[in-house]
Amino acid sequence: MFDFSGRVAMVTGAARGLGRAIALGFARGGAVVSLTDRDGDGVEEVAQAIRQAGGRATAYACDVADADQVRLTVEATESSLGPIDVLVNNAGITRRIALFDWRPEDWDEVIRVNQIGTFLVAREVGKHMVGRGKGSIINMSALGGGLVGLGRGNAIYCATKGAVAAMTRDLAAEWAPFGIRVNCVAPGWFRTEMNAPLLKNEALTARILDRVPLGRLGEPEDVVGPVLFLASDASAMITGHTLPIDGGVSTIVRLSSEPVVD
């Protein structure tokens, strides 16, 4: 799809779901990949799959909300693999809790991982990129991060993802003079472990599918092409952009599945 031979890509939250698919996609494109996740065993399994396919990858257990762990992981990556050319800030969590039942500790955990963690990793990798005068960062927002309201106990999650999209624009503005591009993707409803509890409900799944103009859930592989595009030289004139990957949910109002409504 895109050639990343000779480049180093770092993917956070790479043990499963979208992060895993993205990491494997970069490896197929020839990149050397640094994978991080709080689940050290899980991310090592992904790295091993890349190695078995003939690629090169390292795995690090890292909590993106811990500044010291982030610093050490970035330093270890650059020491073992070389300068990081691409960062995919994918790590994230959710808590689906009715708004009146949210506790401060619930709020704090989601913000620390989704919002502060994204900033900490971008800042640490950005320090190295600024010194070299080049780099591409792709952050992970979401359909509910300013595109549509989701409800279902997602207020805090959506707030953090909206913050990620806003932060993306600001980082893009600040780092553009240094040749660093910062963009964002906003996936819609995807078939991932994070969404598995929702998709067990057949009635809810049917309602979701009715909202998606393309008529299906996203699969993890569907996010790979857009992310690799934003990381590649093909998007050299794109920065500060949030790209929805949602089957048209955020831009199309589908009144009927019929071609003509009398």
The model's pTM is: 0.92
Among the listed residues 4, 157, 189, 190, the single catalytic one is: 157
Q: At 245, is the secondary structure helix, strand, or coil? A: strand
Total structural domains within the chain: 1
| Domain, as residue range, for 134 | 8-242
Using an 8 Å Cβ cutoff, are 226 and 190 in contact?
A: no
157 in active site: yes
**How far apart (Å, rounded) are the C-alpha atoms in residues 212 and 189?**
9
- Give the CATH number, domain containing residue 187: 3.40.50.720
In a domain? residue 248:
no
Collapsed DSSP state (helix, strand, coil) of residue 166 = helix
**pLDDT (tens digit, 0 to 9) for every residue of the chain, 262 residues total?**
799 999 999 999 999 999 999 999 999 999 999 999 999 999 999 999 999 999 999 999 999 999 999 999 999 999 999 999 999 999 998 877 777 887 888 889 999 999 999 999 999 999 999 999 999 999 999 886 665 655 566 788 888 999 999 999 999 999 999 999 999 999 998 887 777 677 777 887 888 888 899 999 999 999 999 999 999 999 999 999 999 999 998 887 665 566 554 5
Comparing C-alpha atoms, which of 20, 84, 75 is closest to residue 50? Answer: 20
249 in any annotated domain: no
Number of Cβ atoms within 10 Å of the Cβ of 242: 18
pLDDT at 254: 61
Q: Does residue 31 form part of some domain?
A: yes
Contact 74, 49 (CB under 8 A): no
Question: Quick check: 188 and 140 in contact, CB under 8 A?
Answer: no
| Residue 224 domain flag | yes
| Cβ contacts of 200 within 8 Å, gap of 6 or more | none
Flag whether 190 is in a domain: yes
DSSP string, 17-69: HHHHHHHHHHHHTT-EEEEEES-HHHHHHHHHHHHHTT--EEEEE--TT-HHH
Count CB atoms within 10 A of the CB of residue 133: 10
